[in-house]
Amino acid sequence: MVRINTDECVSCGGCIDLCPTVAIRMVDDRVVIDPEKCTTCKICVQVCPLNAPRVLEEAG
């Protein structure tokens, strides 16, 4: 799964339109990722110039 580092994200929304599963949206002027929809395709990680999206490693 991917999480947004809110200290790095400036809520530009550049990742929202590129998410193939529509897992990213703007809520109260902040970018959030729905963990139920995120498939960890990493497109948001690739397009963000601030490296705000971070891949979380699964435990196990």
pLDDT tens profile 15-50: 999 999 999 999 999 999 999 999 999 999 999 999
Give the tokens for residue 47: 């397009």
pLDDT class of 60 with cuts at 50, 70, 90: low
Residues comprising the chain, all counted? 60
**What does pTM read for this prediction?**
0.87
19/1: higher pLDDT: 19
For the chain, how many helices (H) and strands (E)? Answer: 1, 4
Q: Which domains does the chain have, with CATH numbers?
A: 2-55 (3.30.70.20)
